[in-house]
Amino acid sequence: MFSFALGTGSKNSAGEWLDVFFPAPQLGVSDSVLQLAEKHLDYSGGNQSIELSNTKAQAFAAMLSNAGETKLATVVEKLAYSEQNLVAVLLATDSKPTNVPEVYLKLHLLSHRLVKPNQINLNGMLNLLPQVVWTSHGAIDIHELPERQLQARLIGQIINVLSIDRLPQMANYIVPADVSIADSTRVYLGAYVGAGTVVMQEGFIDFNAGTEGLGTIKGIISTGFFVGKGSNLASGSASISKRINETRKQYFFGEDCFIGAHAAVGISLGDRCVVEAGLSITEDSLVQRVDAQNQAGDTVKAAELAGKSDLLFRHNPSSNMIEVLDKNKHH
Amino acid sequence: MFSFALGTGSKNSAGEWLDVFFPAPQLGVSDSVLQLAEKHLDYSGGNQSIELSNTKAQAFAAMLSNAGETKLATVVEKLAYSEQNLVAVLLATDSKPTNVPEVYLKLHLLSHRLVKPNQINLNGMLNLLPQVVWTSHGAIDIHELPERQLQARLIGQIINVLSIDRLPQMANYIVPADVSIADSTRVYLGAYVGAGTVVMQEGFIDFNAGTEGLGTIKGIISTGFFVGKGSNLASGSASISKRINETRKQYFFGEDCFIGAHAAVGISLGDRCVVEAGLSITEDSLVQRVDAQNQAGDTVKAAELAGKSDLLFRHNPSSNMIEVLDKNKHH
Amino acid sequence: MFSFALGTGSKNSAGEWLDVFFPAPQLGVSDSVLQLAEKHLDYSGGNQSIELSNTKAQAFAAMLSNAGETKLATVVEKLAYSEQNLVAVLLATDSKPTNVPEVYLKLHLLSHRLVKPNQINLNGMLNLLPQVVWTSHGAIDIHELPERQLQARLIGQIINVLSIDRLPQMANYIVPADVSIADSTRVYLGAYVGAGTVVMQEGFIDFNAGTEGLGTIKGIISTGFFVGKGSNLASGSASISKRINETRKQYFFGEDCFIGAHAAVGISLGDRCVVEAGLSITEDSLVQRVDAQNQAGDTVKAAELAGKSDLLFRHNPSSNMIEVLDKNKHH
């Protein structure tokens, strides 16, 4: 069993899921819980999203408790009193998600730091998610918004709209330990924010992207990028990911890298790399190698340098070229 | 009749309007509605904002229903139960607005996509609007905020302040169909956001500004700019509008234009124009024409090129000039 | 007596302060209030944060009223009915803060414009403040968030998380007179926002930083910077402050300065200085003096020019150096 969780979520008036909140998602499942799921939730193998009544959830909580699954029982017991919809998601394998609850479970696994970016199958995910109005009152179907807005106004209230988007912000579902996030609207559910990460005002982390930890992020971490420990992105910088079929190419920055202000990087980097402020590097960028004495070597595509450590990328104002210096080679 | 709508809104304790929400603003009005307005709302021609009691609104709804104006009747019937203030705005002509409800109706017309930027008269608009504290609890008069904040704190709540500004965010009044907006605080009421527009985190659209559709906006669209279908603004780019008397000059970008990252453009552009990243062009900028063989031609003020199609604006690092290449001329 | 205030605030379940709201902080205190504080609040001199029961606060309000301290009595009377925690902070001297209520009082003094940035002792302040989840429901302890989020979801609500940070946004505590703030999340409590300041979407003001007034701020004002009247920061610009021991170095920009787009300035400036767009100046930057005829003079460290008026800093594209022109010297 790949993953298991019970969640509660919103639906529109047509009964379609808008989002699901999983308070305690888990990788794997114990044998006893699996047997109870088969017996009581009619789980019949494979990947299933099973909707539950409150009564059924209460009974399931009792069984979990009897089976000694105390921690899980406590969560399910609380969920059982939800006035919202309840769903159990059982994923036998990490295959392509097929519905909204599956997608949300996978996004929770990332943001709960149970899996890392690029480790799980999210293919076709965005196509499964409806466009939702995210508000101070939760997820609202875009067609139901006008009536909700009117009803709120009539009693002197407002529904504060945060965004209109397929994905919500992470912090309204889970705030992982030991992070600072200056503006929660800029970190999406499905971001992996490692311990010790400081996301400043201008920082941004997309889903299936993130940081291992201990870095200051003032730039954009795009889908598919995982940034190593101690690496910092300066203000206005960006990692740029390429779309391949229905998903994104996978990239990484190693540890202790520094991406300068307004730089844009579309390749992987090893450890201790530096990209000078304002520089833009894609896989096809031509890069001139130079040595410590500023002697020019051969010219290569940036893609050939991807993932190598101790590189300093800089702009040569006289040749107008991108130069790369291997900081380990001193002569 | 130019426009007609009933709305509900907030006032401060001195009885001055802070904002008005119009659920169903309309261009023009049917003869039967106009006659009912004359008879029942005492509308006597011209541009009038007429405040209504709940009773009067209920009676008006009933009359609309009797007259077969079912759709409008339904809206007015709901409004009639408002605990907030009610107002009917009748604009015989599109002349300069004279009070807060008139301004709000015009801003709604833009954001409901009933009129396009630069099509209606907004002269002197900002001077009519009070500075308002926009909060999770709606519009609050700046002088009444401290008492409201204190009362909320005493019961363990807060009033979350979103902005202190003359204009609120659009999405708290209307979310038009088929748009994505990553951060609703960055699109003002009075923006025209065309179908298929994606406003990313760094995008911004002011009032009387907007997009025809199908573009990705990561830059700033200033008041007076209307951006054509399929045109994209890269991150940190901006359109810059000039103030003329009490309003803004009118500008447009054509279809399928691309404004590079951190570029700033203060002229109109035709179709398929490209402005290179980082370039700044105002009407007075000197621009050197070059042909496809990079042969320099004459130098003109950017204002002379305004609105022309197929131009590529770029920076020549050796001459430090702005160059323009007509992409249609191949020799 | 340096400062005195009564406030109400949030604690976590362990009884530790998360934040304190002071509706009417004051510099100094009258003799009669001081005597009442000694007698009734058991204030025994020095800097003290004294927690109060509602009964005690009510009695104190009555005494203040009897003593003719009507204005203060009115505030304390309201506070006395708080369902939240109550605290009186008495600061005999402006020494290093020692607890959360003291820090919050000092931050309020700045944002209420009772003291200016760099005028008071904030040493070690950040270490005293817990990391807090700032939400639409107020301050929440990071360990208590999951349960609060779950309980909200069960009844179809959400707790909208604004940030995870040591400091909250200013506007949820105090909005000073005559300011515009386009995005309240970008101005921290402890900012001093002078009358006539317009903080645009991209503007940011940290604690112990601010503006004297009448300027448009589209860039970052870092801790330790105080920007003079009429000075403007263009989009993406930043002031950069250096950490010294546990606090920040003190800087100022004079009146009527202009910091260009994406410029970064790490020195003080006098009046009427201009820093060209994109330029980055730190104390160690080498700067070439030029005269009005563009004749190069000597080269100095930027630190030597700090605080001088009428300087124009610009980039020389041929020498790739920072140049400075003294606008007062015409030959």
pLDDT digits (tens, 9 = 90+) for C147-199: 999 999 999 999 999 999 999 999 999 999 999 999 999 999 999 999 999 99
Single residue among A96, A125, A154 that ends a domain in this structure: A125
Q: What is the pLDDT of residue A246?
A: 66
Secondary structure (3-state) at C8 = strand
Helix (H, G, I), strand (E, B) or coil at B104: helix
Residues B204 and B319 occupy one common structural domain: yes
CATH of the domain at B37: 3.30.70.2010
Q: What are phi and psi of C245, to 5 degrees?
A: 50, -125
Residue A253 has which token pair? 């920055």
d(CA A288, CA C281): 28
Q: Is residue C24 part of a domain?
A: yes
Neighbours of B10 (CB within 10 A): 21
Does B331 map to a domain?
no
Instruction: Please list every residue in chain A whose beta carbon sits closer than 8 Å to the beta carbon of residue C220.
Output: 235
Report residue A45 as tokens.
Answer: 């193998």
B165–C184 C-beta distance less than 8 A:
no
In a domain, A331, yes or no: no
User: Which among C124, C153, C185 is the end of a domain?
Assistant: C124
A164 and B180 within 8 Å at the Cβ level: the answer is yes
> In this predicted structure, which of A305-319, B316-330, C72-86 has the lowest mean pLDDT?
B316-330
Residue B246: give the domain boundaries. Answer: 170-326
| Interface residues on B facing C, Cβ-Cβ cutoff 8 A | 131, 133, 136, 142, 145-146, 149-151, 153-166, 185-186, 204, 220, 236, 238, 262, 264, 280, 320
Domain shared by A137 and A275, yes or no: no
Q: Give the total residue count for chain A.
A: 331
Judge if A41 and A184 occupy the same domain: no
3-state SS, residue B127: helix
- State residue B244's pLDDT score: 67
CATH number at residue B313: 2.160.10.10
Q: What's chain A look like in SS3?
A: CCEEEEEEEEECCCCCEEEEECCCCEECCCHHHHHHHHHHCCCCCCEEEEEECHHHHHHHHHHHHHCCCHHHHHHHHHHCCCCCEEEEEEECCCCCCCCHHHHHHHHHHHHCCCCCCCCCCCCCHHHHCCCEEEECCEEEECCCHHHHHHHHHHCCCCCCEEEEECCCEHHHCCCCCCEEECCHHHEECCEEECCCEEECCCCEECCCEEECCCCEECCEECCCEEECCCCEECCCCEECCCEECCEECCEEECCCCEECCCCEECCCECCCCEECCCCEECCCCEEEEECCCCCEEEEEEHHHHCCCCCEEEEEECCCCEEEEEECCCCC
- For B175, which of A164, A280, A320 is closest by C-beta distance? A164
Report if residue A89 sits inside a domain. yes
Residue B138: which CATH number? 3.30.60
| A208 closest CA partner among A262, A249, A156 | A249
Residues C91 and C177 occupy one common structural domain: no
Q: What pLDDT is stored for residue A78 in this prediction? A: 96
- Mean pLDDT over A123-147 rounds to 96
Quote the minimal CA–CA distance from C216 to chain B in Å. Answer: 14
Res B245: pLDDT: 63
Mean of pLDDT values over A270-294: 92
Q: Which residue has the higher pLDDT, A329 or B222?
A: B222
| Structural domains of chain B, count | 3
The confidence band for B160, taking pLDDT boundaries of 50, 70 and 90, is very high
Q: Using CA of residue B91, residue B93, residue B99, residue B103, what is the dihedral sign?
A: positive
Say which of C175, C182, C262 has its CB closest to residue B145: C175
- Interface test with chain A among C143, C147, C164, by most A beta carbons within 10 Å: C164
Strands (E), B166-310: 180-181, 191-193, 198-199, 204-205, 209-211, 216-217, 220-221, 225-227, 232-233, 238-239, 243-244, 247-248, 251-253, 258-259, 264-265, 274-275, 280-281, 286-290, 296-301
In one-letter notation, the amino acid at residue A316 is: N
Same domain, B175 and B322: yes
Q: Give the closest-approach CA distance of C325 to chain B in angstroms.
A: 20
What is the chain A residue with the closest CA to C159? A172
Q: Which of A22, A161, A175, A217 to substitute to test the interface with C, most C CBs within 10 Å?
A: A175
Residue B330: the pLDDT is: 59
C58: exposed, middle or buried (Cβ count in 10 Å: 0-12, 13-18, 19+): middle
Gap between the Cα atoms of A308 and A254, Å rounded: 9
For residue range B197-214, what is the model confidence (pLDDT) as tens digits? 999 999 999 999 999 999
Please indicate, yes or no, if residue C42 is contained in any of the structural domains.
yes
Interface of C with A (CB under 8 A): 131, 133, 136, 142, 145-146, 149-151, 153-166, 185-186, 204, 220, 236, 238, 262, 264, 280, 320
> Are residues A108 and A142 located together in one domain of the fold?
no
Torsion sign (Cα): C207, C212, C213, C217? negative
* Domain match, A56 and A178 both: no
Q: How many CB pairs under 8 A join A and B?
A: 83
CA atoms B16, B19, B23, B28: torsion sign: positive
Q: Hey, is B38 helix, strand or coil?
A: helix
In a domain, C331, yes or no: no
Residue of chain A with shortest Cα separation from C204: A201
- Cβ pair C161:A177 closer than 8 A: no
Q: Of A141, A165, A189, which closes a domain?
A: A165
Residues C41 and C185 in one domain: no
Size of interface A-C (CB pairs under 8 A): 83
Rounded to whole angstroms, the Cα distance separating B244 from B224 reads 11
Q: How is residue A177 written in tokens?
A: 């330990």
Model pLDDT, residue B246: 66
Per the CB < 8 A criterion, the answer to whether C34 and C40 are in contact is no
Cβ atoms of B158 and C136 within 8 Å: the answer is: yes
Residue B153 lies inside a defined structural domain of this protein: yes
Do residues A220 and A129 lie in contact, with contact meaning Cβ atoms separated by under 8 Å? no
Spans in chain C with pLDDT lower than 70: 244-246, 330-331
CB-nearest partner of C138 from B146, B158, B264: B158
Tokens of residue A124, six digits: 């076709």
Which residues in chain B have Cβ-Cβ distances shorter than 8 Å to A280?
Answer: 277
DSSP state of C267: S
- Please answer yes or no on whether C163 and A174 come within 8 Å at the CB atom: no
Q: Range with the lowest mean pLDDT among A98-107, A269-278, B33-42, B235-244?
A: B235-244
- The answer on C139 and C69 residing in a single domain is no
Which chain C residues contact residue B131 at CB under 8 A? 180
CB contact under 8 A, B156 and C201: no
Cβ atoms < 10 Å from Cβ of B31 = 8
Residue in B closest to C182 by C-alpha: B163
* Per-residue pLDDT at A278: 85
Which residues have CB under 8 Å from C285's CB, separation 6+?
Answer: C301, C302, C322
pLDDT at residue B240, as a whole number:
85
| pLDDT tier for residue A329 given thresholds of 50, 70 and 90 | confident
The mean pLDDT of A81-105, rounded to a whole number, is 97
Q: Which of A189-193, B1-5, C240-244 has the lowest mean pLDDT?
A: C240-244
Question: Are A159 and A236 contained in the same domain?
Answer: no
Which residues on neighbouring strands pair with residue C5, listed in sequence order?
Answer: C89
Residues B289 and B161 in one domain: no
The verdict on B186 and B303 lying in the same domain is: yes
Task: Assess if residue B228 is contained within a domain.
Answer: yes
